[in-house]
């Protein structure tokens, strides 16, 4: 009480955290050191990359095919993770069952597990002689060494982003509105569609964007299960590594710059859509 009175008499609203000047300075320094400087180095590095070289690499059919594989599989995996992540978050928040804490902890396993280990494990499971692959093979479904296998690997590493983004929103959601809707005769589906889903769209979009961004640049968990077949299952990060191993630094920089540009444009569009959704929901 004495502290509050002193603050009121002084006319200031001091907080434990530093003020705007110090906080903004630390934020800019951190972002510059971790993000802006490496990105600037990528843009300004002197590797002999000219506009002619850049466009020749960008228009190469093998490069375009790798972009198509990376973007398509990342988008499909992020969409699947959005649906499954919503279902998992709903079960973990709304229901109590034996082993709930264990299942909740397993959601974060892809964060702790090395991506190369995940890639080897997924390849062993979904290959033609694996546990699941042997069941899919008679049905004519080839999981490993195909775009389907890449999508499965990206789903594995992207699911925590959606669950951990949606779960806090569901935990903080008030049940009074849902109970009022049920009292007025609304069914479960209508209550979910008109009351719950609008509040979940922003976190779902955020989870989708995070899973999609992670999937575009993923390398370790995909390099084994993809098969690395040029024009078919070769991903863009693998193509960058191949050019670096061939000492083609200009070509690797061109592929990385174009991938960075595509990712930035797509994520910017998703963030604009997310901002518009939040604005219209108010």
Phi, psi dihedral angles at 37 (to 5 degrees): -65, -50
Q: What pLDDT does residue 5 have? A: 46
Q: Are 209 and 85 in contact (CB under 8 A)?
A: no
**Exposed (0-12), middle (13-18) or buried (19+): which is 218, by Cβ within 10 Å?**
buried
Nearest one of 127, 85, 123, 128 to 214, comparing CA atoms:
85
Cα(33)–Cα(27) distance, integer angstroms: 10
What pLDDT is stored for residue 151 in this prediction?
93
pLDDT at 159: 93
**What CA–CA distance (Å, rounded) separates 206 from 212?**
10
| Cβ pair 162, 206 in contact under 8 A | no
- Residue 29 in 3-state DSSP? helix
What's residue 2's pLDDT? 44
For residue 257, give the nearest of 75, 69, 63 by alpha carbon. Answer: 63
pLDDT in 10s for each residue of the chain, 282 residues = 444 444 444 444 555 556 677 777 787 787 777 777 776 666 666 566 677 777 888 788 988 998 999 999 999 999 999 999 999 999 998 888 888 889 888 898 888 888 888 888 888 898 888 888 888 888 888 888 889 999 999 999 999 999 999 998 888 877 767 667 667 677 777 777 777 788 888 889 889 988 998 888 888 888 888 888 888 888 888 888 888 888 888 888 888 888 888 878 877 877 787 777 667 666
Query: Hey, what domains does the chain have and what are their CATH numbers?
Result: 50-173+202-281 (1.10.3720.10)
- Cα-Cα end-to-end distance for the chain: 36
Supply the pLDDT for residue 45. 61
Separation CA 135–CA 142 (nearest Å): 10
């Amino acid at each position: 009480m004495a502290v509050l009175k002193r603050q009121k008499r002084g006319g200031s609203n001091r907080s434990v955290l530093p003020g705007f000047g110090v906080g903004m300075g630390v934020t800019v320094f951190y972002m510059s050191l971790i993000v802006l400087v490496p990105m600037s180095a990528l843009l300004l590095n002197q590797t002999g990359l000219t506009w002619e070289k850049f466009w020749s690499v960008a228009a190469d059919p093998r490069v375009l095919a790798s972009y198509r594989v990376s973007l398509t599989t990342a988008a499909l995996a992020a969409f699947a993770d959005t649906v499954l992540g919503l279902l998992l978050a709903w079960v973990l928040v709304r229901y109590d069952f034996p082993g709930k804490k264990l299942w909740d902890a397993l959601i974060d396993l892809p964060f702790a597990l090395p991506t190369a280990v995940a890639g080897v494990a997924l390849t062993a499971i979904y290959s033609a002689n694996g546990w699941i692959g042997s069941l899919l093979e008679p049905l004519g479904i080839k999981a490993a060494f195909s775009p389907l296998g890449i999508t499965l690997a990206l789903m594995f590493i992207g699911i925590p982003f959606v669950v951990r983004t949606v779960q806090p929103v569901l935990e903080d959601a008030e049940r009074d509105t849902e109970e009022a809707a049920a009292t007025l005769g609304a069914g479960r589906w209508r209550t979910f569609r008109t009351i719950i889903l609008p509040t979940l769209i922003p976190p779902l979009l955020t989870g989708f964007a995070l899973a999609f961004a992670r999937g575009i640049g993923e390398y370790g968990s995909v390099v084994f299960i993809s098969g690395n077949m040029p024009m078919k299952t070769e991903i863009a990060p693998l193509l960058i590594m191949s050019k670096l191993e061939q000492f083609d630094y200009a070509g690797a920089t061109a592929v990385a710059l174009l991938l960075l540009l595509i990712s930035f444009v797509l994520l910017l569009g998703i963030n604009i859509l997310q901002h518009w959704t939040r604005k219209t929901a108010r």
